[in-house]
C-alpha cells in the first residue's frame, strides 16, 4: 500500500483548460508509482474567482462539492474538506456536511495564521470528529509572502498545543522554506505529523526527518510533483530502513490518524 496524504485536483473552474488532463495525469502516474489512495483537496477555484489561499465561501463549496464527486467516482481518491476559517460558520458547517459525505480530513491553507484563535473552532471540531487537519506551512517564514497568509511550524505548533486531541499534518516538508527549522520545532509536538511532499528533494532533509522525528510521525505525500515524491520514497528505501518503518511512512501512520476503514488496498 502507498497513501499520498497530500494530493490536489482541479475543476472546470480552476482557471486552466487542461484541468481534466492534469487530474488524469495524477491518477495515471499514481498507478505507475503504486499509490493506493490519494487524499486530496481542491483549493477553491485556484484563483479563478477568488484567491487560491483566500477562497470565497462559494468557491469553497464548489471545491468541496467537486471533491466529493471525485471521491465517489474514483475509489482511490479521498477528500479533505477545504475551509476558509475567516468564515467561521461556513467553515464549521462545511466540515460537518463533508465528513457525512465521506471526506476524511480538513485542509487549512493560508487564509489565516495558524496560531490565530479564529482557527480554534475548526481545530476543535476536527478533533471531535476524529479527522486530521492538513495545514499548509511555509517552513521558517521570515516575512509575509504575497498571495497567502502562510504559517510556519512555530505557529502551527501553537495551534497544536491548544488542541492536543487533534492530529495535524505539517504540509510539504519539501515544499519550500527551511525544513530544518520546522523539524526542530515539531520534534517534541506529538500531534504534528510531517508530510514529506513537495518539489524539494534535499538528501539531508530526509535523513534529518528520520533522525529528528523518526518514522513514527512521517507521512508520504507528493503534492503537485509526483516524480519528486516517488524519488524520495525510493531514496528512503535505499537507506536500509526496517520494513516496518518503511511501511509506517508508506501507509501505517496514515492509518493511525485518518478514520478507521477509509483506505482500500484493491486499486
Partner 1 sequence: MTTTDVAAFVGRYPFRSITHGTADWLLAQMDRLGIERAWVGHLPSFLYKDPAPGNAELLQIVEPHRDRLDPIPVVSPGLPRWEDDANRAVELGAPAVRAYPMHQGLDPCGGEMRVLAAALASMGLPMLLTVRFEDLRQRHPEDRASDLPPSAIRTLMRSDPELRILVTHADRSFIEEVHFGLTPTEAERLLWDISWIWGPPENQLAAVLDSMGIDRFALGTGMPMRVPDTPFCRVELLNLPRSEEDALFGGNLDRWISQYHD
What distances in angstroms separate CA 84 from CA 54, 87, 239, one per listed residue?
A: 7, 6, 40
How far apart, in whole angstroms, are the C-alpha atoms of residue 80 and residue 112?
18
Residue 238 lies near partner 1 (rule: CB under 8 A): yes
Phi/psi of residue 209, nearest 5 degrees? -60, -40
Work out how close the CB of 40 gets to partner 1 at its nearest, in angstroms, rounded to a whole number: 11
Among 224, 256, 259, 262, binds partner 1 (CB under 8 A): 224
Indicate the length of the chain as a whole number.
267
| Contact call for residues 133 and 109 (beta carbons, < 8 A) | no
Residue 225 lies near partner 1 (rule: CB under 8 A): yes
Among 12, 20, 28, 216, binds partner 1 (CB under 8 A): 28
The three grid cell numbers given for residue 6, joined into one nine-digit string: 497530500
Residue 214 lies near partner 1 (rule: CB under 8 A): no
From residue 173 to residue 202, what is the string marking binding to partner 1 with x (rule CB under 8 A)? ---xxxxx------------------xxxx
Among 11, 23, 45, 64, binds partner 1 (CB under 8 A): 23
The three grid cell numbers given for residue 21, joined into one nine-digit string: 488532463
Work out how close the CB of 196 gets to partner 1 at its nearest, in angstroms, rounded to a whole number: 11
How far apart, in whole angstroms, are the C-alpha atoms of residue 150 and residue 112?
7
From residue 118 to residue 157, what is the string marking binding to partner 1 with x (rule CB under 8 A)? --------------------xx--x---------------
How far apart, in whole angstroms, are the C-alpha atoms of residue 224 and residue 198?
7
How far apart, in whole angstroms, are the C-alpha atoms of residue 79 and residue 180?
29
Work out how close the CB of 92 gets to partner 1 at its nearest, in angstroms, rounded to a whole number: 32
- Give the interface with partner 1 as residue ranges (CB under 8 A): 22-23, 25-26, 28-29, 32-33, 138-139, 142, 176-180, 199-204, 206-207, 224-228, 230-232, 234-235, 238
Amino acid at each position: 500500500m502507498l497513501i499520498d496524504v497530500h494530493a490536489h485536483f482541479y475543476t472546470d473552474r480552476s482557471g486552466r483548460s487542461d484541468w481534466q488532463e492534469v487530474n488524469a495525469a495524477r491518477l495515471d502516474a499514481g498507478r505507475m508509482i503504486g499509490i493506493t489512495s490519494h487524499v486530496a483537496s481542491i483549493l477553491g477555484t485556484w484563483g479563478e474567482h477568488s484567491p487560491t489561499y483566500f477562497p470565497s465561501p462559494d468557491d469553497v463549496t464548489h471545491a468541496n462539492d467537486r471533491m466529493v464527486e471525485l471521491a465517489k467516482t474514483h475509489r482511490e481518491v479521498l477528500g479533505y474538506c477545504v475551509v476558509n476559517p475567516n468564515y467561521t460558520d461556513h467553515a464549521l458547517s462545511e466540515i460537518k456536511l463533508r465528513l457525512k459525505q465521506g471526506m476524511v480530513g480538513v485542509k487549512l491553507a493560508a487564509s489565516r495564521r495558524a496560531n490565530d484563535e479564529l482557527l480554534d473552532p475548526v481545530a476543535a471540531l476536527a478533533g471531535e470528529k476524529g479527522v486530521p487537519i492538513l495545514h499548509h506551512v511555509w517552513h521558517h517564514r521570515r516575512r509575509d509572502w504575497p498571495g497567502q497568509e502562510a504559517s510556519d511550524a512555530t505557529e502551527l505548533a501553537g495551534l497544536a498545543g491548544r488542541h492536543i486531541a487533534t492530529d495535524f499534518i505539517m504540509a510539504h516538508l519539501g515544499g519550500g522554506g527551511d525544513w530544518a527549522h520546522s523539524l526542530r520545532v515539531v520534534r517534541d509536538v506529538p500531534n504534528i505529523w510531517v508530510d514529506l511532499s513537495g518539489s524539494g528533494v534535499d538528501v539531508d532533509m530526509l535523513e534529518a526527518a528520520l533522525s529528528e522525528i523518526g518514522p513514527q510521525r512521517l507521512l508520504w505525500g507528493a503534492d503537485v510533483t509526483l516524480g519528486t515524491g516517488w524519488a524520495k520514497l525510493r531514496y528512503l528505501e535505499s537507506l536500509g530502513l526496517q520494513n516496518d518503518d518503511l511501511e509506517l511512512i508508506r501507509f501505517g501512520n496514515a492509518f493511525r490518524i485518518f478514520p478507521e476503514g477509509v483506505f482500500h488496498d484493491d486499486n
